[in-house]
Amino acid sequence: MGANHQNRLLEFYRENARALPWRARPGSNVPADPYRVWLSEVMLQQTTVATVTPRFSRFLEKWPQIEDLAAAPLEDLLAEWAGLGYYARARNLHACARAVVANGGFPQDEAGLRALPGIGAYTAAAIAAIAFERDSVPIDTNVERVVARLEGIEGPLAETRPKVHAAARALWPAGRAGDYAQAMMDLGATICRPKNPRCDVCPICEDCAAFASGDPEAIPARKAKKVRPERRGTAWWIEKDGAVWLVRRPGKGMLGGMAALPGTSWEDGAPNDIDAPHVRHVFTHFALTLAVERRASPPGGEGWWQPLSSLGDAGLPTLYAKAAALMTGQPVRA
């Protein structure tokens, strides 16, 4: 597969690129903003474009430049991140912003970018290619699927990933790495989807081994789903004079640094029969059933009284926003 395939895909991207607030339109001659590219790539880790798009705009309203983000208190950033999940990303985002400001700007190569907090191999390659026009090859799950189908690489990605990545690097055009990466990402997100791929409108289907096979959805093979372990715990709802007692979770670990209801640790085991009101939340590696019990007085330790009228401003992560909604009867913004 050579230049003809690359040109068709790039032309398709030029005419059909998704309008995203962090993206420079192809052919506009407006360079990509490294701050926006970096921020979007971090926010998009394990989170959908539909979820990230409005939250990205809110971030830019609060912190239009990386210097603004670096100067913000970490607690403000964590509160704004509430509901996006994977909260270590927010802590790394803050640390990375401060490192970039201290260094006078972003490094422009993958090695320099990977030295920054929270930036791994994919994110470094994406920033280098999209923001700095380096010949880097960012390979996300969409790109993996497109390449596996193009090349007819069968088997689960967990087993074939080295082969898929080598094939991707062979496909990438020199000098157009950023546009080609975004074209591949758009193709995977909107056309070469995991289920029901739209091969009839794919600009490169004539080059695709999976399309030629007659069953493109079979590539890559799906891995067997694992059963999520169950955990259980209790949160305490302590209300006084129109306010509820909140604490901040430890800086490391699940929901690190986030506002929360006080409560017990989370233990392994099925929830069994729970008499108290409770909520259920599914994390990446386990499912949690959290009982919510009223309690008369705060436990020892630091915390604060959050007015119920402004509970949505506390930055509660989704788990505790669900618990608060259960106890107040009103939705609470995560």
Long-range contacts (CB closer than 8 Å, 24 or more residues apart) made by 206-209: 207/1, 207/5, 207/150, 208/149, 208/150, 209/149, 209/150, 209/151, 209/152
d(CA 199, CA 221): 18
- Strands 239-240, 243-248: pairing is antiparallel
Residues with Cβ within 8 Å of 143's Cβ and at least 6 positions away in sequence, in order, are 168, 181, 184, 185, 188
With H, G, I as helix, E, B as strand and everything else as coil, classify residue 293. strand
What does each C-alpha distance from 42 to 38, 94, 124, 192 come to in angstroms?
6, 11, 10, 23
> Is 41 in the active site?
yes
Q: Cβ distance 169 to 124 under 8 Å?
A: no
> Which of the following is catalytic: 11, 15, 41, 67?
41
d(CA 317, CA 82): 5
Structure-block tokens of residue 81: 């991140």
Which residues are marked as active site?
41
